[in-house]
Structure 1
Amino acid sequence: MTAPLTASQLAARFTEAFGTEPDGVWMAPGRVNLIGEHTDYNEGFVLPFAIDKTARIAIRTRPDSALRLLSTYGDQGMTMADTNALDKSTARGWTKYPLGVIWALQQRGITVPGMDLLLDSDVPLGAGLSSSHAIECAVISALNELTGAGLEAEEMVLATQRAENDFVGAPTGIMDQSASLRGAKDHAVFLDCRDQTVKLVPFEAHPAGLVMLVIDTKVSHSHADGGYASRRASCELGADVLGVKALRDVGVEDLQEASGLLDEETFRRVRHVVTENDRVLQTVELLASEGPRAIGPLLDASHVSMRDDFEISCRELDLAVETSRSNGAIGARMTGGGFGGAAIALTPLEAEQQVRAAVVKAFADAGYTAPDIFTVTPAEGAMRLA
């Protein structure tokens, strides 16, 4: 991965591209979900953390309605649009995320001017680390300030969710943007997705002699495809049959009865969500009482549930998890929406190099594309940099 540009470097690139200085530079981080997958849109619990890989934007408002969007990577060239004529059917690539944010703000009655925008990001694309939400959260943070909208973090979360759901076309919940907007250094974000209540939970791996490895399998995924939507539909069907508002209202003790009411596939989807909610609560308790070394078995159980009950893993993710565990990681799981992307492996410092080497070798032996493996630490949420 190329090194990210500093705020001053990005501002200089903006001036070079657009012939004028930006109004400012904002950033928002990607996220790793420690545990709690596909629970967010079921009004459940999640425990993500913002990571030290970010999307950064330099931006300047214009006196007209023209939009000029440019990124530092790829060869897409400049995208032109108009704030008065946004069209989700023609939005392409990364630009649909800032365009979606502009559209969502307009739906709230906020007047958004034209603008020039330059994006730089080192959040890996398609890896399940929420590169799209990092872009959206950087953009909404900037526009919230530049338009004087005065939105609270909870309101920005809902606006970016609307951008994802109704403009981008991905039926996602509120976890990713909550972590990006509300994250804090050395903490995970314990989020109740029913009421957006947040509690910051200390999560410091290094003092405990651990490192969090991310294994990007290079199997690209997209939340806007049918796999994610079909899982969400199964959850909604399960909640409807069980007579609850959302699967958040089903406890582990209710699963035996649920098994007699649901078809086999829907029951497995429901069982994942119900047990995953329970694992999130257990993880929060263990982090407080015993620290990060105690949560390994819960990470392992989460992956098994996603692999077997929710069926959102893939061969590459399973190989990354299994190889990490057999070479010293104390817990590992796929992270993100699934069907590709990344796995995480909570690993003792002394086993880090062995895990890295073993995973690379296992992928080569299987004929898979070489994975990217890197460490992440809990980082600050979205902010203005310059």
Structure 2
Amino acid sequence: MNENQSRFQAHEAATEAFRSVHGTAPQGVWSAPGRVNLIGEHTDYNDGFVLPFALPHRIAAAASPREDQVLRVATLGSDGRIQQADPIDITSLRPGTVDGWAAYPAGVAWVLRDHGLDRGADLVLAGDVPTGAGLSSSHALECAVSLALLGLDGQELDQPGTPERMKIARWVQRAENDFVGAPTGLLDQTASLCCTASNVLFLDVRSGETEQVPFDTAAVGLRIVVIDTRTKHSHSESGYGERRRGTERAADLLGIKALRDVAMADLDATLGRLPAELVPLVRHVVTENQRVLDVVGLLHAGRLEDIGPFLDASHVSMRDDYRISTVELDTAVEAAKAAGALGARMTGGGFGGSAIALVPESKIGDVEAGVTAAYEAEGWRPPRTFVAVPSAGAGRDA
């Protein structure tokens, strides 16, 4: 499925579900994509560098304003059933007052209220970003809701990559961190809001500066294949938090603002100043930042086909140093490479989710078959695979 098809389907699904719930058409529809991170994992909350691109898969928010300060939210499930949350009084929102899936749109409304927007709205959500796959479905939802609530207030965002969108990304991060209670960095929100078609987004998290770097895989006969392992391990949230706290502790011990400030040339000496348990965490973050810079350099030089070894090295670092991979992810990566991928790595927060592989177009079938066979040999349910095309970021659809 391409971006236009996904956008149209999400728009139509959200619009029809809105009609079903409210009996009228929505005033507008906004949508936001999921994302794949090409490279640069767990660097965002260390003030580092990331290199994501937006997926064609999107979450759409059909919306109309209300005259009160109540948020009414419903979502269309993959089974075609509509689930409605209890009405939410925006004026009384506090962290902990809403749980489950409704906490994500409620958290956005809570943050926007602090910026002067407390008018109620009817929202109905629908889309096709795979959930639990490490492709940032929750952030796609939050970004779509942000644009919808702002749009209903007459505040339409300008082009991707602008300071206004970066501001909204930080608001969404606050909703996730302080209301939902998930200690995420800034990568996912920024990707959903700021990516453009046929490019990867080079983001310097510390400065907020972005650059659209050409990433036309088809032009050189290559594709990015996403392998959704369809697994998520129970310790994913606690493990993420532990590693984030570990990197923050390391920065404190080193007397620096963030691990971004450790230069590659100083890495060995720096590691010698740290407790043994923090050494692998720091090594991953510093080397991963350098891998992002190296990949950006190759893309600028038109050498897209040469980035495979950096993807491989990133996976090894996440598997051995950051220890966030799983046997399912490792199996997907190794099977993809054995079947002809030029490089592969897990992507996202880890502990399950998805891997990506850089694959010659002629080898896509071989890679998909090889990974499926490897899973079958282990007795696991087959993974879900698809070709990821760098797509446009969030915006108004109607």
**TM norm structure 1:** 0.96
Deviation, structure 1 residue 9:
4.6
Q: Which range moved further: 229-238 or 249-258?
A: 249-258
For residue 228 of structure 1, the aligned residue among 240, 244, 251 is 240
Does residue 305 (structure 1) correspond to residue 309 (structure 2)? The answer is no
For residue 56 of structure 2, the aligned residue among 48, 52, 55 is 52
Does residue 145 (structure 1) correspond to residue 157 (structure 2)? The answer is no
The corresponding residue for 1:378 is 390
Deviation, structure 1 residue 89:
2.2
Q: Which range moved further: 216-225 or 150-159?
A: 216-225
Q: Deviation digits for residues 255-283 of structure 1, max 9, x if unmatched?
A: 21122211222010000000000000000
Does residue 32 (structure 1) correspond to residue 39 (structure 2)? The answer is no
Does residue 154 (structure 1) correspond to residue 154 (structure 2)? The answer is no
The corresponding residue for 2:366 is 354
Q: Deviation digits for residues 103-141 of structure 1, max 9, x if unmatched?
A: 111123x22222111111211101111001100111111
Distance 1:130 1:240, change over 3 A: same
For residue 181 of structure 1, the aligned residue among 161, 185, 193 is 193
Distance 1:52 1:134, change over 3 A: same
The corresponding residue for 1:97 is 104
Matched residues in 2 for 1:113 and 1:107: separation?
Answer: 12
* Contact residue 10 and residue 128 of structure 2 kept, 8 A: no
- Displaced runs of 4 or more, over 6 A: 1-4
Partner SS for 1:34 = strand
Matched residues in 2 for 1:43 and 1:164: separation?
Answer: 18
Q: Deviation digits for residues 62-85 of structure 1, max 9, x if unmatched?
A: 111222211110557211222122
The one-letter amino acid of 1:209's match is G
The corresponding residue for 2:160 is none
The corresponding residue for 1:264 is 276
Distance 1:95 1:221, change over 3 A: farther
Matched residues in 2 for 1:268 and 1:9: separation?
Answer: 46
5+ long unaligned stretches in structure 1: none
The one-letter amino acid of 1:331's match is G
The one-letter amino acid of 1:147's match is D
Deviation, structure 1 residue 21:
1.6
* Contact residue 168 and residue 224 of structure 1 kept, 8 A: no
Deviation, structure 1 residue 314:
0.4
The corresponding residue for 1:106 is 113
Matched residues in 1 for 2:336 and 2:61: separation?
Answer: 35
Deviation, structure 1 residue 370:
1.6
Does residue 209 (structure 1) correspond to residue 214 (structure 2)? The answer is no
Distance 1:223 1:62, change over 3 A: farther
Q: Deviation digits for residues 183-232 of structure 1, max 9, x if unmatched?
A: 10000000000011000000011111111110000112689821111000
Distance 1:76 1:168, change over 3 A: farther
Partner SS for 1:49 = strand
* Contact residue 341 and residue 358 of structure 2 kept, 8 A: yes
* Contact residue 27 and residue 384 of structure 1 kept, 8 A: yes
The corresponding residue for 2:290 is 278
Q: Which range moved further: 10-19 or 300-309?
A: 10-19
5+ long unaligned stretches in structure 2: 158-163
* Contact residue 29 and residue 381 of structure 1 kept, 8 A: yes
The corresponding residue for 1:68 is 72
* Contact residue 26 and residue 138 of structure 1 kept, 8 A: yes
Does residue 131 (structure 1) correspond to residue 137 (structure 2)? The answer is yes
Q: Deviation digits for residues 277-333 of structure 1, max 9, x if unmatched?
A: 000000000011133201000000000000000000000000000100111000100
Identity %: 50
Partner SS for 1:218 = strand
Matched residues in 1 for 2:235 and 2:137: separation?
Answer: 12
Q: Which range moved further: 217-226 or 157-166?
A: 217-226
Partner SS for 1:341 = strand
Does residue 82 (structure 1) correspond to residue 89 (structure 2)? The answer is yes
Matched residues in 2 for 1:121 and 1:319: separation?
Answer: 29
Matched residues in 2 for 1:381 and 1:144: separation?
Answer: 16
Matched residues in 2 for 1:57 and 1:150: separation?
Answer: 14
Alignment root-mean-square deviation, CA: 1.9
Deviation, structure 1 residue 143:
1.5
Matched residues in 1 for 2:293 and 2:382: separation?
Answer: 35
